[in-house]
Chain A
Amino acid sequence: MVAQVVKLEKPAHSTLPSPAPRVPPQKGHVLINRVAVIFGRGAGAHAAVEETSLDIAPGEFVCLLGPSGCGKSTLLNCVAGYVAPTRGSVTVDDVPVTKPGPDRGMVFQQYSLFPWKTVLDNVAFGPRVAGRHDGEAIARTFLDMVGLSRFAKRYPGELSGGMQQRVGIARALANYPSVLLMDEPFGALDAQTRVMMQENLLRIWSEFGITVLFVTHDIDEALFLADRVLVMSASPGRVIADLAVPLARPRSPEIATEDAFIRLKRQCLERIRVESMRAFDQMNQ
Chain B
Amino acid sequence: MSVEANLDLGDVDEHELPAGSPHLVADLRDKLMATGRSWGVRVFAVLIGLGLWYWAARVHLDFYIRFDNVPSPVIVGEAFWRHLHETKFYIHILVSMRRILFGYILAAVVGIFLGLIMGRSRFARDFLTPYIELLRPIPAVAWIPLAILMWPTEESSIIYITFLGALFPIVLNTIHGVEQTPEVLVRAAQSLGARRVQIFWHVVIPAALPSIAAGLAIGMGVSWFSLLAGEIISGQYGIGYFTWNAYSLIIYPDIVVGMLMIGLLGTFCTYGVRLLTYPLLAWQRRAR
Contacts and interface: CB of A to CB of B under 8 A. Distances in A.
Interface in B164-195: 182, 184-185, 187-195
Interface string A78-108: 0011100000000000000001111011101
Given A155-B287, A250-B3, A252-B6, A110 B184 contact: yes
Contact of B12 (A116, A125, A150, A157): A150
B187 A160 contact: no
A157 B288 CA distance: 6
A203 interface: yes
A130 B206 CA distance: 20
A200 interface: yes
A117 to B, nearest CB: 8
B10 A254 contact: no
A201 B259 CA distance: 65
Nearest to A145: B10
A106 B188 contact: yes
B193 A116 contact: no
Contacts of B288: 157-158
A114 interface: yes
A155 B188 CA distance: 17
A203 B6 contact: yes
A129 interface: yes
A125 B191 contact: no
B18 interface: yes
Contact of A125 (B9, B16, B192, B286): B192
Contacts of B185: 112, 114
Contacts of B153: none
A130 B9 contact: no
In the complex, which of the residues B3, B188, B189 has the most CB atoms of chain A within 10 Å of its own CB atom?
B188
A100 B190 contact: yes
Given A105-B191, A203-B7, 13 more contacts: A1-B2, A100-B191, A101-B193, A104-B191, A114-B188, A115-B284, A116-B207, A116-B284, A125-B189, A154-B286, A162-B16, A175-B193, A199-B6
